[in-house]
Amino acid sequence: MITAVAALILIAVSSVTTNKRIDAFNEVLAERLEQRVQQLVQAGANEDEVRALIRESIDLARGQQ
């Protein structure tokens, strides 16, 4: 579970910090991220906490605190 959450954070951070991609690729990444969230929730993780963690990782990558 911890490894899955860590991977999710890395995906979110890398998607925010990489160069601008065209919209089609952003939609693909967003769908992949949503699928990972659903997998974590089905495995027993709290959905609100997972989504809060993603938001915080994006803020961290953007330099907002």
pLDDT digits 0-9 by tens, 16-30: 665 665 556 677 888
pLDDT at 11: 77
Helices (H), the chain: 2-17, 23-42, 47-62
Domain boundaries defined on the chain: 2-62
Residue 18: predicted pLDDT:
59
CA-based Rg of the chain, rounded to a whole angstrom? 12
What is the Cα–Cα distance from 55 to 14, expressed in whole angstroms? Answer: 13
Residue 3: what pLDDT? 78
pTM for the model: 0.59
Per-residue pLDDT of the chain (65 residues; tens, 9 = 90+): 777 777 777 777 776 665 665 556 677 888 888 899 999 999 999 999 998 988 888 888 878 65
